[in-house]
Amino acid sequence: MIIEIDRNTGCFARFQIPATAAKDQLRVRLLDVSVPDPPLISGHIAGFTTDIDSFDTPVCRTLLEFVDFVDSMVDSVSGARLLEGYYDGAQFEIFALAKTVNVSADLRAVLKLPAVLALNNIEYSTLNEGALDISDGYAVELQVGGAEGFYREHEGYTHVVATFPRGASKPIADYWLTTREPLTSGTIRVCSRRRSDGALEEIIVRDGERWSARIEIDVGRRNINHRRKM
């Protein structure tokens, strides 16, 4: 039995297991997922400041998104554009147009920029990959039924059932998990896995984007071939 999930909201979904499968213990495994890219540059509070303004930098999946943000910054009094950014696929450039702009220490660590962007002076930069601590891939939390959900034999209880390198769609390891009791529903959540400590962070699904997952359920001797579109 294959349960297919296809959504345009956050990377979390509840799903129902057909009643025909609920009378027995089940085996469950994740086949694949497809999600939007995790972020490349995290948000920074007061990433850029001037003598009168402060700008929090947003979470950006690419440097091109970051350039769009840089180009949108304007002085709150005069309305003049403050910065102009450029990225050619390898090198990032930033130019102060209207006045000097200060760069926070954490943002400087990521973009290798000086503390102050001087007026009419181009600064060249590249990403400091060692300082990026957003994501090196994904983790999938799958729960079927109650708080204990299911277990993998001889390895104790688990909620994270699969991990993926960045850009992949299939689990690094493929295995079945067995439910502890007959069940009728479950939940799935796909997260970005932070590189430094393995912490899980929400993946943002923007307007017009979708994510999907496929879960296989084995009902043993019943040999049911059932496809359910979520």
Between CA 173 and CA 106 the distance in angstroms is 35
My answer on whether 101 and 143 are in the same domain is no
My answer on whether 73 and 126 are in the same domain is yes
- Of 131, 155, 180, which residue sits at a domain end? 131
My answer on whether 127 and 144 are in the same domain is no
Between CA 21 and CA 217 the distance in angstroms is 9
**Domain residues for 95?**
44-131
Q: How many CB atoms lie within 10 A of CB 98?
A: 17
Tens-digit pLDDT profile for residues 47-82: 999 999 999 998 888 888 899 999 999 999 999 999
pLDDT over threshold 60, residue 32: yes
Q: Residue 157 has what pLDDT?
A: 47
Structure tokens at 8: 């345009």
Tens-digit pLDDT profile for residues 123-180: 988 776 666 656 778 889 888 765 455 655 544 445 788 888 887 888 888 888 877 6
User: Whole-model pTM?
Assistant: 0.66
Structure tokens at 53: 């303004």
Q: Residue 61 has what pLDDT?
A: 80
The CATH code of the domain that includes 162 is 2.60.40
- Of 105, 131, 157, which residue sits at a domain end? 131
My answer on whether 154 and 185 are in the same domain is yes
Q: Which residue has the higher pLDDT, 70 or 182?
A: 70
Tell me the CA distances in angstroms from 215 to 65, 87, 121, 126, 173, one per residue in order: 33, 40, 54, 40, 15
Furthest C-alpha separation in the chain: 74
Q: Which runs of consecutive H residues, i.e. helices, occur in the chain?
A: 63-72, 105-111
208 DSSP assignment = T
- Of 98, 131, 164, which residue sits at a domain end? 131
My answer on whether 55 and 123 are in the same domain is yes
Number of structural domains (the chain) is 2
Radius of gyration of the chain, Cα coordinates, nearest whole angstrom: 23
Half-sphere exposure of residue 220: CA atoms within 13 angstroms, side-chain side? 12
My answer on whether 48 and 119 are in the same domain is yes
My answer on whether 19 and 54 are in the same domain is no
Tell me the CA distances in angstroms from 94 to 79, 87, 101, one per residue in order: 19, 9, 11
Burial class from Cβ neighbours inside 10 Å (0-12, 13-18, 19+) for residue 212 reads middle
Between CA 182 and CA 163 the distance in angstroms is 26
Structure tokens at 88: 């050619």
My answer on whether 164 and 123 are in the same domain is no
